Structure 1
């Protein structure tokens, strides 16, 4: 979006919310509880992948070669791989920001609350631009993992599915912010980050 933050009021936008980054988790939880398109999609994806994970854990249970310990080890590898994917996840966010025209990008993290953020200082993103930024890591990484599920041998299938399960769960922040936009679908909502103040601002105006 070509507007700068200081130009929003004169273009009819009013401040809807100001999110302190330390308050990200309760903010996300609030909008994941709203029944929006993106919250429903998120929970359906998690439910389906969780079901597939459970099936793979108990499949071949009656086989003489079945080993729950081996299955759980494969599952654990998947969780570890999901953690290793976090830098790639945030890097894809940044690339998507840059593709939309953001110049000043950075990262933030809170290990105690276990959240990670890609930020674009003073870059005003509209709904379409933000959807691209928010969904890019989920779509790209999920597509790659699903591809591996179909070509991996039996020993690695559960690892790939477990990685997909953990990574999808970790996308709750992205889907929570998308749910915020969807919840305010009666308005043209835009957002930008103020990195120096550790806040993100959401402005909106009635649709014309």
Structure 2
């Protein structure tokens, strides 16, 4: 949106909610449990990958060549690689922010609470813009992994599935924030980050 935070009230917006970045986890837990299209999509994607992993583990179980240790090893490779992808995930967020017009971008992380954030200081984003920002890493990384899943041999299938399972699970923050926007969609919510004070603000349109 081509509007500055200090101009929101003059343009018919009032404060809807605020999120201290240290309180991100309980905020996400609240809205990922709401019945919205984004929370449902998140759980369905996780369920699908979990079933896929189960199938990959059990395939060929009755054959003499079946080796559970080898499959577990490659699956764990995937879980480890997913953590390596975290900086790429956040970088895609930043690129998505820039594609929507943000200029002052940065990163934040809390290792203890295990969350990572891409931020755009004082950039006001509406629901449509935020959907692009939040979904870009999930769509891009999932698409690439799905293509690789069709190309790798059976030995590395569980590695790709392990990456998919871990990465999809770690997208809870993105889907939780999207669920917030969807839950309040009738209020036409917008948001911006105050990086200096570690707060994200959400405003609603006054009818």
* TM-score where L is the length of structure 2: 0.99
Written as runs of structure 1 = structure 2, the 5 A alignment for 1:20-39 is 20-39=20-39
Q: CA deviation at 1:134?
A: 0.1
Q: Which residue of 2 aligns with 1:78?
A: 78
* Structure 1 position 206, deviation (Å): 4.4
Give the corresponding residue for 2:14: 14
Tell me the SS of whatever aligns to 2:60. coil
Residues 142-153 of structure 1 aligned to structure 2 (within 5 Å): 142-153=142-153
Partners in 1 of 2:131 and 2:186 — Cα distance? 16
Asked if 1 retains the 8 angstrom alpha-carbon contact of 2:105 and 2:121, the reply is yes
How far residue 57 of structure 1 moved from its aligned partner, in angstroms, is 1.1
Tell me the C-alpha RMSD between the 2 structures: 0.7
Provide the residue aligned with 2:94 in structure 1.
Answer: 94
**Residue in 2 that maps onto 1:63:** 63
* Cα displacement string for residues 115-171 of structure 1 (whole angstroms, at most 9, x for unaligned residues): 000000000001111000000000000000000000111111110011011100000
Residue of structure 2 in register with 1:178 after alignment: 178
Kindly indicate whether residue 115 of structure 2 is the aligned counterpart of residue 126 of structure 1.
Answer: no
Contact 1:186-1:206 within 8 A present in 2 as well: no
Aligned length: 207
In 2, Cα distance between equivalents of 1:57 and 1:75: 9
2:196 aligned residue:
196
So what's the TM-score if we normalise by structure 1? 0.98
| Structure 1: runs of 5 or more not aligned | none
Q: Distance in 2 between matches of 1:32 and 1:172?
A: 7
Question: Unaligned regions of 5+ residues in structure 2, if any?
Answer: none
Q: For the residues of structure 2 that align with 1:48 and 1:206, how far apart are their CA atoms?
A: 40
Paired with 2:205 and 2:60, the residues of 1 have a C-alpha distance of 56
The answer for the alignment partner of 1:3 in structure 2 is 3
Alignment of 1:161 with 2:161, yes or no, is yes
